[in-house]
Structure 1
Amino acid sequence: MAGMGKIARRGFLIGAATVAGGLALGVYSLRQPYSSPLSKDLPAGMAALTPYVVIDRTGVTLITPRAEMGQGATSIQAALLAEELDIPLDAVRTDPGIPAPAYYNARIVAEGLPFAATDTGWLAETARETGAMVGKLMSLQITGGSTTVPDAYDRLRMAGATARAMLVTAAARRLGLDEAALRTEAGAVIAPDGTRLSYVELAPAAGRLLEPRKVALKDPSDWRILGKPMQRLDIVAKSTGTARYGIDQTAPGMLFATVRTNPARGGGVLHVDASRAESMRGVVKVMRLPDGIGVLADNTWRAFQAAKEVEIEWGPAPSPANTEALFDSIAGAFETRRDSRLKNEGDVEAALAGGADVEAEYRVPFLAHAPLEPMTAFAWFRNGMLELRAGTQIPRFVIDTAQRLSGLHEDLVGLYALPMGGSFGRRLEDDFIDQAVRLAWAAEGRPVRLTWSREEDMARDFPRPAAIARGRGRVEGGQVAALDLAIAAPSVSASQMGRLGVPTMGPDTAIVAGAWDQPFAIPSCRVTGHRAPETVPVSSWRSVGASANAFFHESLMDELIHAAGADPLAERLRLCTHAPSARVLEAVGQLSGWGTDPGPGRGRGLAFCLSFGVPCAEVVEVTATAEGIRIDRVLAVAEVGRVLDPVNIENQIQGGVIWGLGHAIWGELTHAEGRVEQANFDSYRAMRIDECPEIVVQALGSGGPVRGIGEPPVPPAAPALANAIFAATGQRLRSLPLARSVRFV
């Protein structure tokens, strides 16, 4: 990835040129496949069939390059390959593979384009195709944006089918039979007379063949794995405690490291006195880092204790010092910093000239990623090479960072991507990799495992940005007639991509995602994004902009529908212009018994959001008790195009609902003196198991484009809960977290 900045700029210019009507560089070359990273220096007896299938004497290994962070990415990638290869899912090994251009994400760029998922016009489709080319040109091996399944669905099935075809060809030549006479089953090619040739014995001959240009994919009616309940490949290891994460890595002679950096990000270090820490038992070295110190010791606990004993004078934060000042900075963007107006239908000014029936301001706070496994990485300089082991969503960028710091050639930097104990977007950053490389260099040939403390992880997060929305609207004849929503927030794209050295251009669609692109035909409707100045560096957080904007949009919609005297479900259905979204709304209505009396003191709240191409609707049922609000039940419906694993989809939707509800109730990062005030899970609350309501899930697979489900269940949760509380109590809640306004039991 040398010259990343130049390649990135060229990539974005190509994208702009194509959208404008012409591609300057050769489309043909961009569409050619990358060479397989597995084809070099293969040991005897091993064959690589496509970049995704490796067969040796011991069996089949499937390469699953999208990162596993608890969402089931490894299992679904393996299932896509295994289905077309005709091998049992439980009979394969998986490996994340070597970070390589061949594993680029063709869908990730499209998520940031200013086209709604419902837009299937020529310009939108051309832009998406160009986005795929840019992803290839830039070698964007990234896991995020709920793109793993959409990106892999055709590609991995094709890879599995190609490998199968090569094995059949090899068998046909050995047996002197026509390929059409052969069939495959359970990892073997079978002849009409019952002769079975295992893939293992055919692999050396198959590996010498050219990949066929065209192969046939199975009809879904013939699927043996996909579409049926699966047991995830990692479930046994996770259930028995044998799963190995970054925090579990070991090696002979390993040093254990931690860091302590300025909690007022960007303030720097004025003075360090490490004399006391350096004299402590087990401490090997205390070293300066660009924004703090690192400690190398003989175990993690001693490293933690020594880090606390280092006397450090920190510089002040360059950003506003407290929460109120940060929100003032965001509010100021409404007047001076318009970023986008991607939706502007009808005549909003004329519709509201006589005054608004509803006018409100909504706010959401900064939110931490706070994965249970804090930032951690293993690094080892030896024999002129650098070995890295870490959980990361951006392996190619990690290689680039390590290469820049070490001065080593890219071929001398190796990364093994590990499963993660959570991420939610946090491991789209490489700051902890930077530190691990610096510490390993100072360790003079000994391996180093870096582990952050929970307090460091909270203080040095790149949070979900805080945001403010100002909404107004008008109703006529019992219907919603006008909606005007302005949203101000810092740019996630500029902040995050800037740290990775990738320039961005044009409006940041994340500022308004989940609001401007909703499939409702309101006669006069406008959504405006305002880019607040960057103060606290921010990053992608599970469901990115839609996590805040669904709360804004669906709260305003609910207020307008109430002002019109209409039914929340019926009015959304009347306005809906997108058939899959309408099916989702109808299904959640049936699932929840919408329209029936919920009972005394009880209320139902409905919210909908189309995000990452997935329409998702949720109904939350609550009871207002004397002690506070109790969440009784959540009904969630999503349309994913095709259900590939019903068990994992149900789990992902349930997890997204819990994530969304917990943060809606308690989640916030506040600031004082330029520092985050929450340091651990005692002050940054999550929803606990005894607080989780019953969650009923229905996943629709109506045959449209295949979509991912990791993020879409999150956005509707907060507004559905707030709307339910209004239905039960009459109290409108326009600011998160909700626990600041009501008590929950």
Structure 2
Amino acid sequence: MENIQTSRRDFIKASGLATFGLALGISGFTRDAALKKITPAILRLEINPFIIIDTAGNITLVNPRPDMGQGSTQAVPSLLAEELEVSLEKVLIVQSDGMGKYGSQTSGGSSSVRELWMPIRKAGAAAREMLTSAAAKKWNVQVSECTAEDGKILHKATGKSLTYGELADDASKLEIPKDPKLKEAKDFKIIGKYNKRLDVPERVNGKAVYGIDVDIEGMVYASILHSPAIHGKVVSIDDSEAKKIKGVLQIIKTERTMPHRSSEAVAVVATNWWAALKGKKALRVQWDNAGYEKSLTTASYFAQTYEAAQKEGINFEEKGDFTAKYAAAKDKLQAQYETPFLAHAPIEPENAVVHVKEDGSVEIWAPVQGPDWALRDVCGYLKIKPEQVKINVTLLGGAFGRKAYHDFLLEACHISRELKKPVKVIWTREDDITQGPYRPGMLSHLQGFVEDGKITGYHHHAIGESIVSQVFKGLKDDEADPWLSEEISTGNNKYHFSSASKVSWTHVKTDIPVVWWRSVYASNFGWGQECFIDELAHLAKKDPLKARLEILPDDRFKKVLETLAEKANWDEKLPEGTGKGIAVFKSFGSISACCITVSKSGQGVKIDKVISVIDCGHYVNPDNVKAQTEGNIVMGITAAIKDGITFTNGVCDQSNYHQYNVLRLNETPAMEVYIVDSGAVPGGVGEPGLPPVAPALGNAVFAATGKRLRKLPFNITNLA
């Protein structure tokens, strides 16, 4: 088996799926191949950082946001193409390389379209105006007489036309307009319209290049043995058996560098991946776990969060004197809602190819969420300058936040620096799940009261580890975490509590590595917020929908909930043992609401249907909005009813998909997704559909069974 080199792409091709080609480039590999076809006589002119037009008429659009499945390879260039008046079928799309001229290049926080909506459109509009001005000058006519259409500038009065390629040289010499005129929404041809994802065929037929597909001449493979207790140190290495394996070249002590600390590890370097993996399994390493058997446990962590719930937190906001009014209230409630640590577990595990060369320069091929952040981290780690680094960003086979955390990339940098060879590091699934980083487990301590049948008081005390603190070291001891506090603030959720409201925070630290996970803190705190609002509605003897509408003065929130009520037929009479639950949450600039219907089944319930409504403002492609929301529904249900991550005696209890389950196709309920066209500024799409899912399910379970669930995950088949 040592000689078997079958890759994912070879397997797909051998399966008979490599039938259709695609002229749309995705990665740096496609870019380089395309540029080699251009003869030296042809000028490649950068109209602005995002648009390159050569004198033969070839158009290249630069996508500054890596694609991990969310569709940025089409969504972001669509903004350019709309204003440039070209169709995506006729252009080459390449990925940015981390250099500063492209601005922010990290895919995360559902930010691609909402942050680039104006800058990228302006880039396209500016290029269009420059090309139009160049044509008008050639023809000696007024700019107003010229129009852009399908990669050409037209002068309809005379029938003359010039391609962008013919105008590129002259246009590139003009000053870039600072305030170009943008198209009105009514004139959009691409934005807001259904368009086929042109990148899909390559992903099906095996042509698409993911990080795990990269094969560089002279490359060696490294499989890394990490400490089971994550932060353990190497005491001794017995590599005698590993060295006997054919293909094993070298065994070296290496390091895993995380934002909050570094750990030691051992790398087996081999001529092929199978040999490296076998060598890793043959290693015998003694670890010093530095007492983590006692301190690194989820049980002790959550015990600390529940202790903190009995004390005052640090105030983020308070309107009215909540403590006094809660003490005096007649009809009041308090409860704790818990969410577990979660792994990202993308289908493509962490991997990177790095070549640290003799001259100190570095070339990288990797599935990273942000080449700009990767460039920063690599330069900081190797102590080199940005101009010494070339980053080739591949497609990402899933990420959900994990691949913006560059420990795996820095491992490859360390090993390549030692060997002065291109090294391909691949984490196993076990590495991925047992080593983290994870979504932090969190606790919501909630209090509230009702007066005259209306919810008028509410306090959300958020408790747990802080990403701002652990990853960025940016939280003072007397400061409430601004990320999560803003997420649950009344300014974000728009609930108006007429008597008093409060948001507070307590920091409970852990050495379990944490980082953002799909929808970040919204997935933690939407669970508590929206289930507790239901509890208060029942205390007020109010229908949960009506109770929300009473305290939501915001028209956009109301429209989303009213649309949900209509599409889910909220007021219908349900048979015995069937229940519906709703939830609404705003995150990343978008408002999403969910209604789930469940019915009793044995000792548990069955999820019958999920209806989701999203108002994300202006969007690029409705099909992609629906696809991302469906993905959020699946991931949201998984987070509610499947396994969380737990640590016992310093070691993660889960190691692979058999212990860290995901929702299967046969378990997936019927889903419907509806978009509210508000025309507001663009919000996120990749994450906002997730936070309302778990609380909608929890509220549905209560409606069907009378059982109130406050801890995730729960066993949906056995609620006894």
Instruction: Identify whether the pair has TM-score above 0.5, normalized to the shorter chain.
Output: yes
Q: Deviations along 1:638-679, whole A, 9 cap, x unmatched?
A: 111123210000111111111111111113001111111110
> C-alpha separation between the residues in 1 aligned to 2:587 and 2:454?
25
Cα RMSD for the two superposed structures: 2.1
Work out whether 1:489 is the aligned partner of 2:464.
Answer: yes
Change (3 A) 1:558 1:62: same
Opposite residue 469 of structure 1, the aligned amino acid is S
Distance 1:263 1:407 in 2: 30
- Which sits farther off after the overlay, 696-705 or 344-353? 344-353
Q: Give 1:608's match in structure 2, choosing from 578, 584, 603.
A: 584
1:426: Cα distance to partner? 0.5
> Once the 2 structures are TM-superposed, how far is the Cα of residue 595 of structure 1 from its aligned partner?
1.1
**C-alpha distance after superposition, 1:165-201 (max 9, x if no partner):** 1111222222222222111111111122222211122
- Which of 318, 325, 335 does residue 360 from structure 1 map onto? 335
Q: Given the alignment of the two structures, is residue 268 of structure 1 paired with residue 233 of structure 2, yes or no?
A: yes
1:267-416 matches, within 5 Å, as: 267-290=232-255, 291-316=264-289, 319=292, 320-334=295-309, 338-345=313-320, 347-354=322-329, 357-382=332-357, 384=359, 385-416=361-392
Residue type at the aligned position of 1:328: A
Structure 2 equivalent of residue 205 of structure 1: 170
Structure 1 residues 281 and 392 mapped into 2: Cα distance closer, same or farther (>3 Å)?
same
Matched ranges for 1:72-221 at <5 A: 72-105=71-104, 141-192=105-156, 193-221=158-186
CA shift for structure 1 position 579: 1.1
Q: Which among 46, 51, 61 is matched to residue 49 of structure 2?
A: 51
Distance 1:526-1:452 versus aligned 2 partners, 3 A rule: same
Deviation at 1:251, TM superposition (A): 1.5
Name the SS of the counterpart of 1:734 in structure 2: coil
**How far apart in 2 are the matches of 1:701 and 1:234?**
26
Q: Aligned pair 1:592/2:568, yes or no?
A: yes
Match of 1:728 among 681, 704, 708: 704
Question: Letter of the aligned partner of 1:638 in structure 2?
Answer: I
How far 1:405 moved relative to its partner? 3.9
Counterparts of 2:539 and 2:178, CA distance in 1: 60
Q: Distance in 1 between matches of 2:312 and 2:397?
A: 38
- Which residue of structure 2 aligns with residue 69 of structure 1? 68
Tell me, yes or no, if the aligned pair for 1:391 and 1:427 is still in contact at 8 Å: yes
> Residues 275, 395 of structure 1: CA spacing in aligned structure 2 closer, same or farther, 3 A cutoff?
same
User: 1:330/1:237 Cα in 2 relative to 1: closer, same or farther (>3 Å)?
Assistant: same
Q: Percent identity of the aligned residues? A: 31
* 8 Å Cα contact 1:543/1:714 also seen in 2: yes
Q: 1:566 aligns with which of 542, 548, 553?
A: 542
Q: TM-score, normalised by structure 2?
A: 0.89
> C-alpha deviations, 1:698-744, integer Å up to 9, x for none?
11121222111111111100000010011111111110001188369
Worse-matched range after superposition: 222-231 or 389-398: 389-398
Q: Name the structure 2 match of 1:227.
A: 192
CA distance in 2, matches of 1:333, 1:278: 51
When the two structures are aligned, how many residues end up with a matched partner?
A: 665
Partner of 2:22: none
Q: CA deviation at 1:410?
A: 2.1
Residue of structure 2 equivalent to 1:545:
521
* Mapped contact 1:167–1:206 kept (Cα < 8 A): yes
2:625 is matched with 649
Give unpaired runs (5+ residues) of structure 1: 1-37, 106-140
Contact 1:247 1:376 in 2 (8 A): yes
* Structure 2 SS opposite 1:196: strand
Q: Deviations over 1:105-152 (max 9, x none)?
A: 4xxxxxxxxxxxxxxxxxxxxxxxxxxxxxxxxxxx432111111111
2:223 is the alignment partner of 1:258: yes
The 8 Å contact of residues 333 and 533 in structure 1, kept in 2 or not, is answered as no
Aligned residue runs from structure 1 range 525-544, under 5 A: 525-544=501-520
Q: For each residue in 1:458-493, what CA deviation from the matched residue of structure 2 results, as whole angstroms up to 9, or x when unmatched?
A: 111111111112223222332223223322111011
Which one-letter code corresponds to 1:341 in the other structure? F
2:261 paired residue number = none
Deviations 1:322-377 (A, max 9, x none): 22112123334346783443243454422333565322222111111111110001
Structure 1's 513 and 543: CA in aligned 2 closer, same or farther, altered over 3 A?
farther
Name the SS of the counterpart of 2:639 in structure 1.
helix
Q: Which of 300-309 and 586-595 deviates more?
A: 300-309
Give deviations 1:261-298, integer Å, cap 9, x for gaps: 11212222222122221221111111101311112112
SS in 1 for 2:607: strand
Match among 642, 645, 657 for residue 681 of structure 1: 657
CA contact (8 A) 2:538 2:544 kept: yes
Q: Is the 8 A contact 1:99 1:396 kept in 2?
A: yes
Match of 1:669 in 2: 645
Corresponding letter in the other structure for 1:232: R
Distance 1:398 1:88, change over 3 A: same
Task: Please say if residues 642 and 700 of structure 1, whose CA atoms lie closer than 8 Å, have aligned partners that are also in contact.
Answer: no
